[in-house]
Amino acid sequence: MIHLTKMTPKEYQDYLLSAIKDYANDKVKNGTWNAGESFEQAKKVFQELLPQGVATPMHFLYTVKSEDGPIGYTWFFCDNTKEAFIYDIGIFEEFQNKGYGTLTMKLLEQKVKSLGAKKISLHVFGSNQRALHVYQKVGYQITDYNLTKLIE
């Protein structure tokens, strides 16, 4: 059994460093940013979105935990428009392919519903087929495609 607990300031600091690196790498991998500037660009995005860290209004950061301790994290935004947006979700590598991603998505739905939201959305990088599979498995529908071709 897993559950979501509010991220502590210490957990947030650990999460933040990892999340910035991962986001920067994803942006480079998907051709949006160049490697030399990606970390600083990602850092700026996180500073703008979470200026008060775990205390940023309408942003909800959780650690995903099992009986054995932390197995992942998630971050979503929810305001009074009845819509929520998942900014980040991750299950640590050693816990992947065990159904925890699917369970986390279901727990997220419960949290969002308890806040009054009627819709939950997210973005997934095109190269992240594993995550796309999980999202579609729990009922998410593709609403847009962005396509890119590098011309050399």
Domain segments of the chain: what residues?
3-137
Mean pLDDT score, 69-88: 94
Q: What DSSP character marks residue 54? A: G
- If you average pLDDT over every residue of the chain, what do you get? 91
Distance between CA atoms of 90 and 101, rounded to whole angstroms? 8
Overall fold of domain 3-137: Aminopeptidase (3.40.630)
What pLDDT sits at residue 17? Answer: 94
Structure tokens at 116: 């009054």
- Whether the predicted pLDDT of 132 surpasses 70: yes
Is residue 15 classed as helix, strand or coil in its secondary structure? helix
Please, are residues 47 and 59 in contact by the beta-carbon 8 Å criterion?
no
Q: What DSSP character marks residue 32? A: S
pLDDT single digits (tens) 102-122? 999 999 999 999 999 999 998
Confidence category of residue 58, pLDDT binned at 50, 70, 90: very high
Distance between CA atoms of 47 and 95, rounded to whole angstroms? 29
CA-wise closest residue to 68 among 94, 43, 31: 94
Confidence category of residue 63, pLDDT binned at 50, 70, 90: very high
Structure tokens at 145: 């495609």
Mean pLDDT score, 1-21: 96
- In sequence order, the 6+-apart residues with CB closer than 8 A to the CB of 101 are 89, 91, 131, 134
